[in-house]
Structure 1
């Protein structure tokens, strides 16, 4: 019956005090009557009977005596509220078909928003979506709660409808459920799965959790990815958009997050899922106990008598909130983005009840793991506020770590024998012990420690190493079936163990034998064995990878481990003990390095998302690696570490190499014009190369001293300034004696430029490409220089004005270097003294590999520059030389990746053989066009030699010798550019230019032999 809408002309009159009708009195609202009598305004509006008050007003004394209790008053008020809502619901007109099919227009003319069809749900009674009202008489509060009897059957039917596109037979579902019981659940016992429960029954009871378990245990990786999309649709549609919440959705969400690493694409999403699960648990009220003394009634329903607000928590609910805490703790350990849930007294109660009423041995394992988490998280402050005054993270004291280790031992002793023998709990206890002991392996706070303190520190280091050994032994003893179901936390523990073992392997401290650590447990051998074991798991379990570019977890993990192993090896080169021969150690390490790995930005971004790798460089670890990163910026190697992403410096060093290439290649093109201008023969011209060689020779012994005092920026600016002096003595065509002496300065300056920039680029990411680009800049300069020199010599009578152009370019080079390296320019570090630089130089000279690579560079650069001096007509000699340098420039860019992937050692041999063939063509085919093509191809083929040599040198030598060794070998190599043209010119002045080809062939053969003598990598 619709309410009457007839207007009333008679005004309403308020009822006298105490004379309100029964309905208005109960509703505690003002009662208005018409002067002609009849129903009051409220009863008329609601179309209900207007009954007068039951009695008359009594005296205040009697009223006070008969005043109802607080519960009675709340009940009366609630009855009035329920009556009002019931009357409004009963009088609401039913929607017509036209109303359901066409959108209604609001008063402002806008059409209300309707959800899209894909997010619509089947219609259900309105009462199913209305909250309950809980009234706590103790606190006098009213709270809206979810219904006591939620629409679980409706939610289950919705989830089953979402999963219906995946047709799993009962036999397949039963097999996959058994796989989950055997391989997955023991590693992370998040919920109870009775042995007698069939897959069909599990599907009916908890459809979403059942579907997640089927996804995780599927044998086809492609099928896992398809089912993963359905899981995301259920999460986004049912949980996020439709706000559905029940225990099945929560357990399935926890389960999916715990094994989320198997579905990670570019970025991990475990943190997001964990926070969503926490919100779902709070929505269900599982994070706190039931409220005592609260009464509940329901909107839209008539409740004859009040019900208790909440029944007692079930064991499954208590287990679920504990599993959620376990998940939040694991998420913090893995990704360090959100803190674990706050541990409360209610969670402690749930832990105690689950321990006493465990339904299986997995409940006892879950309890023990949570106790371990509570212990080792006390040593790892969650929030960033746990910092000292200088901004570094506070390290827990030794006393705290000792007390926590004692508590951990008490937990181990209290476990029953059947639980203590479980491999899962053994691994967890061992990792908890290792996570506590890792705080004891930092650098000593003082350099002068007493003998007992030093002995105690060595005991702590050995204890941490023993824990890592035991954890890895337990790992490799696991059956392959158990390894197929490892969760995110297990993977995090494995990687943390490797990181700690790596720290112990490179740790330097008096009394700590790194070589003994390597013999006891070699971290590189652990990588190799892990890759072998992971490769066997798919075959043993019958797991098939997806055909597309997206790979399954077991198939892509081996590649990640090989990449991390290569990064560890690159760092370990400089951490070997002094009693190990460098060549032998380098061979052992290089043998396991994967030269074919592509360290792309995607790989480094993925590794950056894993905090276990970032932890290697945190402030709490004060080992040599952290000290190296924190060294003064003026240290040459430190500058590389700090500024490798500085674009201005990268441009500056490449332009400096371009200037070096222009300086080296111009002389050969100008020789036909220098001789008649000064009226000299080939021997005086060869003396020019000798003067340049003397400058290189001086730089070979002074480079490391200048670099240690002035830093990289200062060394480069000094070199460019000396280059300015050389061109200032040359551009005005001085006497031949002055002109020849300028070549000493030009050789000295290029040596001071060449060595620092090679050291800088050799330590950059993707150094094989960066070195190729750097030396391509050298080739570009050598390409442009002969062309420019030839143009000056042929188009103008002033060939020496070419050096005026070089003088102007040098001014720009000095200005750019000074600006880009302005921070710490000409500033030396405190420990950079002459004695330290001399020790580095002596140590570099003691290495056989340094002399072999130096000899190789000496022959290569000599052949490189000698090949640019050709017996061609003067008007085209510069262009033929430019073709040679152009081939070098292109080859250093195009052949960098090919050489790196196939292997630098193998490819250098191949390149030398091809170069010998091209040199023979050039020798025996007396045709200018053929010679020009052959010499260009020769430059293209031999282009990667110098970058590959620098890369091999940095892989062989310890890191602290890189500055001295690269500077010395580069200097000796560039000295060949002066020595061999001098020798060639001296011999050619007596025997003719025909000796050029035999000399080139001899140089290539000598390079082949020297490269074979360089220490080669040995397989472990």
Structure 2
């Protein structure tokens, strides 16, 4: 040990130790019972910069400094002597690159969301086309109400198959491949229908349309429902694009329905399917959901809320154990059935019961236009009132408007009422999906949403088919009492949906 250094010469002692032993000295205060001295330990050169901080670890070389000469300022205790082979961390670089990285992640998220909205736009385009084309089906194929309603049944069966297979496909091949498969099936179906084949072929092609739409809708809804930032708003915007597609397609379908080659309408649908397929391939590149969420700066459901041990059970078994899933599925069946039935049969109702002409096809646009405006224009009310209560309010308003159409024989009055029904029906579906994300397990959310939307499409066939069955016997006037009964049933089912946030994470 070196002798005590007299006077205020601790810096010289620091330098002396550094020169003699090639290591940076570190001052360590140690109170000894026998003296009032402090020992200055030289930190070994092999230690990292973090390890050179004040420690009571003994060192081989020490310098004793008197207590009175102890440095009082922190910069005196640790002088700015460079350390050997320990570069300073590049702090400025880390800070400067964080903002560009965040911007890049946000851009990825925006692009992903735009492509998802494009897919949902295509789904709305398909559904909005049916109403104006039904009279053309009946005219050229010489069909009654019952047979023409098989077109809805085929679409429904495709949706059921897609909803059932989505559960297993989601685990096996992932998001990126499933959505592309969905648009490819739509493209094949539209191409077949564009040539105007016999009606059985049209029905079979519509089965594959339903299958493709089911896969696509389940994955798009599951993706947005998995987001942690502004999920409810994005769901509302995405389903607004559905309304936009359903609003614009009747204008095109009405134009073609009055022409001899009305089937050429499906060439427009096929073109949209081609664009969507290319966008899905280029943007998502067949990747899984967790990879895409990471690209957009979102945490995957498994990372934010890892599944508990019992989540390793069979996926279907877990799904069927959830009571809320069954209630929400029943609600979706009735809701989607009402939406498709009103949009599909209202044109025929106006023509047959209210004496409307060819331009009655535009009333379908009014319904889906209201649907679009309701989904984006009433988002503030949904947040203000709350999802569970606001659906009850919308249902009551829709029942009153439907009764108005039933008893008021006015084309203009009925057209306005149909548009207002679309306005209040529009927000219900995204509100239901948003509510589902709060009460269902996060690790099963994509599967649950796929099941609810896929099986929910049973209503898109059951109610239109039931309408055709009743119309073949009682006339198309039976549409309105059927819709009133279904709206009341939907309201009762929604009352049993859990209100509180009971997510199982």
TM-score (norm 1): 0.37
Over 3 Å counting, the alpha-carbon distance change for 1:753 and 1:644 in structure 2 is farther
Over 3 Å counting, the alpha-carbon distance change for 1:1018 and 1:846 in structure 2 is closer
Distance in 2 (CA, whole Å) between partners of 1:651 and 1:1018 is 29
Over 3 Å counting, the alpha-carbon distance change for 1:793 and 1:964 in structure 2 is same
- Is residue 236 of structure 2 the alignment partner of residue 772 of structure 1? yes
- Is residue 224 of structure 2 the alignment partner of residue 761 of structure 1? yes
Q: CA deviation at 1:782?
A: 0.7
Partner of 1:997: 480
- Is residue 179 of structure 2 the alignment partner of residue 703 of structure 1? no
Partner of 1:786: 250
Alignment of 1:329-340 (within 5 A): none
Partner of 1:872: 350
Check conservation: 2:125, 2:242, Cα contact below 8 A: yes
- Is residue 118 of structure 2 the alignment partner of residue 655 of structure 1? yes
Alignment of 1:247-266 (within 5 A): none
- Is residue 276 of structure 2 the alignment partner of residue 813 of structure 1? yes
Partner of 2:265: 802
1:850 maps to which of 308, 325, 330: 325
Distance in 1 (CA, whole Å) between partners of 2:160 and 2:456 is 10
Number of corresponding residues:
400
Distance in 1 (CA, whole Å) between partners of 2:453 and 2:107 is 21
Distance in 1 (CA, whole Å) between partners of 2:446 and 2:55 is 57
Over 3 Å counting, the alpha-carbon distance change for 1:673 and 1:823 in structure 2 is closer
Check conservation: 1:844, 1:965, Cα contact below 8 A: yes
Deviations, residues 752-795 of structure 1 (Å, cap 9, x unaligned)? 1110000001122111111101111111111111111001223x
Alignment of 1:153-552 (within 5 A): 343=54
Distance in 2 (CA, whole Å) between partners of 1:138 and 1:888 is 81
Partner of 1:225: none
Deviations, residues 802-858 of structure 1 (Å, cap 9, x unaligned)? 001111111111111111111637999xx9xxxx99921221122111010000011
Over 3 Å counting, the alpha-carbon distance change for 1:384 and 1:698 in structure 2 is farther
Check conservation: 2:332, 2:453, Cα contact below 8 A: yes
Partner of 1:863: 338
Check conservation: 1:778, 1:889, Cα contact below 8 A: yes
SS in 1 for 2:489: helix
Partner of 1:668: 131
Partner of 1:932: 415
- Is residue 442 of structure 2 the alignment partner of residue 959 of structure 1? yes
- Is residue 364 of structure 2 the alignment partner of residue 881 of structure 1? yes
Partner of 2:461: 978
Distance in 2 (CA, whole Å) between partners of 1:935 and 1:644 is 39
Over 3 Å counting, the alpha-carbon distance change for 1:342 and 1:646 in structure 2 is same
**Structure richer in helix, relative to its length:** 2
Q: CA deviation at 1:343?
A: 4.9
Partner of 2:15: none
Distance in 1 (CA, whole Å) between partners of 2:274 and 2:179 is 13
Alignment of 1:909-928 (within 5 A): 909-928=392-411
Distance in 2 (CA, whole Å) between partners of 1:892 and 1:681 is 35
Distance in 1 (CA, whole Å) between partners of 2:395 and 2:406 is 16
Distance in 1 (CA, whole Å) between partners of 2:155 and 2:120 is 17
Check conservation: 2:175, 2:287, Cα contact below 8 A: no
Over 3 Å counting, the alpha-carbon distance change for 1:775 and 1:747 in structure 2 is same
Distance in 2 (CA, whole Å) between partners of 1:137 and 1:738 is 100
TM-score (norm 2): 0.73
- Structure 2: unaligned runs, 5 residues or longer: 1-7, 13-26, 28-49, 57-63, 73-87, 91-97, 100-104, 292-301, 303-310, 352-356
Deviates more, 1:659-668 or 1:817-826: 817-826
Q: CA deviation at 1:137?
A: 10
Over 3 Å counting, the alpha-carbon distance change for 1:980 and 1:343 in structure 2 is same
Over 3 Å counting, the alpha-carbon distance change for 1:896 and 1:644 in structure 2 is farther
Partner of 1:325: none
Q: CA deviation at 1:349?
A: 7.0
Distance in 2 (CA, whole Å) between partners of 1:138 and 1:786 is 89
Deviations, residues 282-306 of structure 1 (Å, cap 9, x unaligned)? xxxxxx9xxxxxxxxxxxxxxxxxx
Deviations, residues 574-608 of structure 1 (Å, cap 9, x unaligned)? xxxxxxxxxxxxxxxxxxxxxxxxxxxxxxxxxx9
Distance in 1 (CA, whole Å) between partners of 2:501 and 2:290 is 41
Over 3 Å counting, the alpha-carbon distance change for 1:760 and 1:884 in structure 2 is same
RMSD: 3.6
Q: CA deviation at 1:139?
A: 8.9
Check conservation: 1:693, 1:744, Cα contact below 8 A: yes
Q: CA deviation at 1:984?
A: 0.5
Q: CA deviation at 1:877?
A: 2.7
SS in 2 for 1:872: helix
Q: CA deviation at 1:1011?
A: 0.5
Check conservation: 1:768, 1:897, Cα contact below 8 A: no
Q: CA deviation at 1:692?
A: 0.9
Q: CA deviation at 1:344?
A: 9.1
Partner of 1:1013: 496
Distance in 2 (CA, whole Å) between partners of 1:903 and 1:721 is 38
Check conservation: 1:662, 1:785, Cα contact below 8 A: yes
Over 3 Å counting, the alpha-carbon distance change for 1:138 and 1:905 in structure 2 is closer
Q: CA deviation at 1:1009?
A: 0.6
Partner of 2:42: none
Partner of 1:314: none
Over 3 Å counting, the alpha-carbon distance change for 1:1016 and 1:804 in structure 2 is same
Distance in 2 (CA, whole Å) between partners of 1:847 and 1:384 is 51
Check conservation: 2:132, 2:257, Cα contact below 8 A: no
Partner of 2:296: none
- Is residue 196 of structure 2 the alignment partner of residue 733 of structure 1? yes
- Structure 1: unaligned runs, 5 residues or longer: 1-135, 141-287, 289-338, 355-382, 386-607, 610-641
Q: CA deviation at 1:686?
A: 0.6
SS in 2 for 1:729: helix
Q: CA deviation at 1:926?
A: 0.9
Distance in 1 (CA, whole Å) between partners of 2:408 and 2:10 is 108
Partner of 1:824: 287
Distance in 2 (CA, whole Å) between partners of 1:672 and 1:644 is 45
Distance in 1 (CA, whole Å) between partners of 2:114 and 2:444 is 26
Q: CA deviation at 1:648?
A: 2.3
Q: CA deviation at 1:903?
A: 0.8
Check conservation: 1:714, 1:826, Cα contact below 8 A: no
